[in-house]
Chains A and B, each alone.
Chain A
Amino acid sequence: DAKTTQPTSMDCAEGRAANLPCNHSTISGNEYVYWYRQIHSQGPQYIIHGLKNNETNEMASLIITEDRKSSTLILPHATLRDTAVYYCIVRTGGTSYGKLTFGQGTILTVHP
C-alpha cells in the first residue's frame, strides 16, 4: 500500500474548521484514502474514507485532489474533544482488502 505524509502537529481554535492535509503521491488506482483518529489511550476511531470523489459524513469532510495525490480532512467546527492523533492511511479496498498500516499521524490540538 502507498505511504502517506502528514504534518507532525497542528493547532486549531475551538469552533473553527480544522484542515488536516495528507500527501499520498504514490497512490494506485484501486487504493482508498482512509482517516482514523486516536484519542489518548483509546483505540482508533474511523472517521471517513474515499476513493476519488469528495465525501462528507456527520463527523467530517474529505477532499481528494483530482490527481488523487493528496487529500484534506476537514473538521468543520472543531471542539476540544477533537484533540487527537489523526491518521491518514491508503489501502486497497473492495474485494482486495489491504491491511491498515498506521504512520505517525498528525497531532491535532484544539485550544479554547
Chain B
Amino acid sequence: GAVVSQHPSWVICKSGTSVKIECRSLDFQATTMFWYRQFPKQSLMLMATSNEGSKATYEQGVEKDKFLINHASLTLSTLTVTSAHPEDSSFYICSARGLADSYYNEQFFGPGTRLTVL
C-alpha cells in the first residue's frame, strides 16, 4: 500500500514554455500533498504544501505565480512550472499524506520528475 506516482518521470522543454507534473496517490486518499525540489548533490527543499480543495501554502522564497499547484481531488495534485527557464531544471518530488489516525497519516513520496529546460 501507500503508492504515490508521478508523471512524467522526465521532461525536456524549451525555455519559456510551461510544464505540468502530476502526482497521484494510487491506493489511498491524500488530504495533504507536498512538493519538493532537489538540485544536484543537494537535499530536498520543500516548495509548498497543499490541502485538498484549498490554496497551496508556499515556502519562503518560492514564487507562487511561477509554480502553480492544484490539489483538486483527494488523489491528484499538479505542479505547473510556468515560463520555465534553465535555472528551473531540477528534480521535482511530490509527497502525499493520508487521513489522520490511519496508516496513511505519514508522508509517502513519489519517484520524482526530472525537468530539464533548454
Q: Are B44 and A102 in contact (CB under 8 A)?
A: yes
Does A104 interact with chain B (Cβ within 8 Å)? yes
Partner of A43, one of B45, B49, B93: B93
Known: A95-B100, A99-B34. A41 touches B114 (CB 8 A): yes
Is the CB–CB distance between A99 and B46 below 8 Å? Answer: yes
Known A-B contacts A42-B111, A43-B112, A103-B43; the reply to A97 vs B95 at CB < 8 A is no
Q: How far is the CA of A103 from the CA of B43 in the complex (A)?
A: 6
A45 within 8 A of B: yes
Q: Which residues of B contact A42 (CB under 8 A)?
A: 111-112
B43 touches A105 (CB 8 A): yes
Report A-chain residues with C-beta under 8 Å of the C-beta of B110: 43
Q: List 9 A-B contacts (CB under 8 A).
A: A41-B91, A43-B4, A43-B93, A43-B109, A95-B100, A97-B97, A99-B46, A100-B34, A102-B36
Interface residues of B (CB under 8 A from A): 4, 6, 34, 36, 43-46, 49, 91, 93, 95, 97, 100, 105-112, 114
